[in-house]
């Protein structure tokens, strides 16, 4: 058995089949400690509970339910439960893709970013809602067996999306553009008090830009996208002198 310490979490909740699949595969590479939300916390991004207490419930050996967000799960695991920074933080497998701008909303991706911030090698895994978990195991195992050899600068994570059916392999891909159809619907509860429901019909659509993650999964490939914590725009930073000159003119 490898001496790696691996923290596994997600945003769909502790009882998600995707979490079970990821933890099972990860167990081939080291000691796996699962710390996951006690309920679905999808689309919560990198939120953390600064103004609420957190409770952790031990449900078995190296298995914990947390009543906080995915980022809370990583923080509690790394800073309190594990006693040291884990070698790997793995988040997923999310029920549904995290493509294009989805990564800004995704709790799955948020947890992986937090793992990276805490000093671990981190990755987020998502899959088509009709995906086959048994088929995914082989490909996740292949990735994990080789990802320490992949060239990835600091402050980066991998974002993987697994298509339904048998994948053709891995394809490096950029982020696509999502066509949003979300709306905010005003409704009234039985007591006559208004409330709002955020959503949309038919699910997200993507532009499928050539070379993008959405194109890759639509063509049967596992999209492999490096994401970085630094959101600064290098093309504008290179023109910093011009920008500063304009703003500093009297």
Rounded Cα–Cα distance for residues 193 and 80 (Å): 42
- Classify residue 197: in a domain, yes or no: no
Rounded Cα–Cα distance for residues 130 and 18 (Å): 12
Rounded Cα–Cα distance for residues 238 and 161 (Å): 32
- Classify residue 164: in a domain, yes or no: yes
- Classify residue 189: in a domain, yes or no: no
- Classify residue 113: in a domain, yes or no: yes
Joined together, the tokens standing for residue 181 give 């159809």
CATH of the domain at 226: 3.40.1210.10
Q: First vs last Cα of the chain: how many Å apart? A: 66
- Structurally, the chain folds into a number of domains equal to 1
Tens-digit pLDDT profile for residues 83-107: 899 999 999 999 999 999 999 999 9
The residue with greater pLDDT, 207 or 100, is 100
DSSP structural state of residue 170 = E
What's this model's pTM, rounded to 2 decimal places?
0.92
Tens-digit pLDDT profile for residues 14-34: 999 999 999 999 999 999 999
* CA 82 to each of CA 3, 35, 63, 116, 155: distance values in angstroms, whole numbers, following the listed order: 14, 10, 12, 16, 22
Is residue 75's pLDDT more than 70? yes
Q: Closest Cα partner for 71 from 104, 109, 39? A: 109
Rounded Cα–Cα distance for residues 197 and 170 (Å): 37
pLDDT of residue 235: 84
Stretch 177-201: mean pLDDT, rounded? Answer: 83
Tens-digit pLDDT profile for residues 183-193: 888 999 999 99
Tens-digit pLDDT profile for residues 111-167: 999 999 999 999 999 999 999 999 999 999 999 999 999 999 999 999 999 999 999
Stretch 5-18: mean pLDDT, rounded? Answer: 96
52: domain range? 5-176+207-247
Decide: 50 and 76 in contact? Cβ < 8 Å.
no
- Classify residue 195: in a domain, yes or no: no
Angle CA 5–25–115, to nearest 5: 45
Task: List, in sequence order, every beta strand (DSSP E) within 25-103.
Answer: 31-37, 56-60, 63-66, 88-95
- Classify residue 187: in a domain, yes or no: no
The mean pLDDT value of the chain amounts to 92
């Amino acid at each position: 058995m490898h001496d790696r310490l691996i923290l596994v979490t997600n945003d769909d909740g502790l009882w998600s089949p995707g979490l079970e699949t990821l933890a099972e595969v990860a167990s081939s590479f080291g000691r796996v400690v699962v710390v996951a939300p006690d309920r679905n916390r999808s689309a919560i991004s990198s939120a953390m509970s600064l103004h609420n207490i957190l409770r952790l419930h031990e449900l078995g050996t190296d298995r914990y339910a947390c009543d906080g967000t995915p980022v809370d799960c990583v923080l509690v695991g790394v800073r309190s439960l594990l006693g040291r920074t884990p070698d790997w933080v793995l988040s997923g497998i999310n029920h549904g893709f995290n493509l294009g701008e989805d990564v800004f909303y995704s709790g799955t991706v948020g947890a992986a970013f937090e793992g990276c911030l805490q000093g671990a090698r981190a990755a987020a895994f998502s899959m088509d809602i009709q995906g086959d978990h048994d088929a995914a195991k082989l490909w996740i195992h292949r990735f994990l067996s080789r990802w320490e050899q992949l060239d990835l600068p600091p402050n980066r994570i991998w974002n993987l999306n697994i298509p339904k059916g048998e994948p053709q392999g891995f394809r490096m891909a950029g982020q696509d553009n999502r066509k949003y159809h979300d709306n905010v619907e005003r409704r009234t509860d039985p007591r006559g008090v208004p409330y709002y429901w955020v959503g949309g019909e038919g699910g997200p659509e993507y532009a499928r830009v050539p070379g993008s993650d959405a194109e890759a999964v639509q063509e049967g490939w596992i999209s492999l996208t490096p994401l970085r914590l630094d959101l600064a725009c290098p093309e504008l930073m290179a023109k910093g002198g011009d920008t500063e000159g304009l703003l500093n003119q009297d």
